[in-house]
Amino acid sequence: MDKILSQDEINALFSAMAADDLDLNAPQEASAYRKVSDYDFHRADRISQDQIRSLHLLYDYFGRNFSSSLSAYLRAFVDVNLISIDQVPYSDFLKLLPDPTLFSSLGMRPLDTNIALELSPSVVFPMIDMLLGGSGSVTFSDRSLTEIELNIIEGVIKLAMRDLKEAWRPIMDLELYLDGMGSKPQMFQIVGPGETVVAIGLEIKVGEQSGMMNVCIPSRMLKMNRHRFAQQWNIRRQKAAGSDAERILNLLHFSSLGLSGELRDSSLRVEDLLTVSPGDILELDRRIGDPIQLCVAGVPKFQGRIVTRRGKRAFEITKGYCV
């Protein structure tokens, strides 16, 4: 609704017009009150906070898997923890890396892009020592890796690629391949120097040694696939518990458990127990045909009877155990 002027405002308006103090054609000076804010044109390449949270969950899951895989590969305790996720220009990411270091460029099919994976020399040399049969307590060397050392540590990189592929599976099916590996990060330009990338930092502890593993992902690749994060991540979180349970069950398949056939629910007085000696016969509160309980690791699971099979004692299961 238009503002209705009061009588005093109308009189003041006519008085200003009569004194020629009011110029109706003068432009309004609204620009003096306009708020100006800075704009960073690099922000156009940045991804949303929702995707950052999804990446946090994804690489936290990768860290746990890689910790288990690397522990089995090195036959030593390895701990991998997600430390940070930042959005920086690619040139700034390279400046933060040690030189020399272990830098790998990984291709991602069907995506037409590469990601970078960097391993700090402070953990690379202990890993190489452990793979060659040592204890891993080597002194850090500020030098480039030799061709032989690169071939030895390539197994660790391929192990990380396998777990990265598994971590990304709920988002998209990727085929990772090693596109290049060396000690000089500046030799690998996966994107332009000014292009924004997502830098993911994970801390690796191998015995008494620790160092960083950095993963660099171009932001434009994440922006082009942001709809996959929105559609698939919720499904992954719902299935995570089931997937972890299945993985644990597969690891337990080759475990050994103790079996024992037991006669339970019989009692003996302490007075009689103190007088028991070899050759004595104990009368139990069971009939000859009553079933015997088969216990797995001390827990009753089945009922049955003792039989003979191929000259050895065996247990014939007749039914499951009911509490």
Can you give the pLDDT at residue 300?
83
Can you give the pLDDT at residue 163?
94
Superfamily of structural domain 259-277+284-320: SpoA-like (2.30.330.10)
Name the CATH code of domain 43-252 (choices 3.30.300.130, 3.30.450.40, 1.10.357.10, 3.40.1550.10).
3.40.1550.10
| HSE value, Cβ hemisphere, 13 Å, CA-based, for 178 | 18
CATH 3.40.1550.10 in the chain: give the residue spans.
43-252
Residue 229 CA to residue 73 CA, distance in Å, equals 31
Can you give the pLDDT at residue 44?
54
CA 235 to chain centroid: 16
Can you give the pLDDT at residue 230?
67
**pLDDT by residue (tens digit) across 149-172?**
999 999 999 999 999 999 998 888
For 118, residues 6+ apart whose C-beta sits below 8 A from its C-beta are 97, 101, 102, 103, 104, 185, 212, 213, 214, 215, 216
For 187, residues 6+ apart whose C-beta sits below 8 A from its C-beta are 103
Can you give the pLDDT at residue 231?
63
> Which residues of the chain carry a pLDDT beneath 50?
none
Q: Is residue 90 within 8 Å of 216, Cβ to Cβ?
A: yes
CA 239 to chain centroid: 15
| Structure letter (DSSP) for residue 166 | H
CATH 2.30.330.10 in the chain: give the residue spans.
259-277+284-320
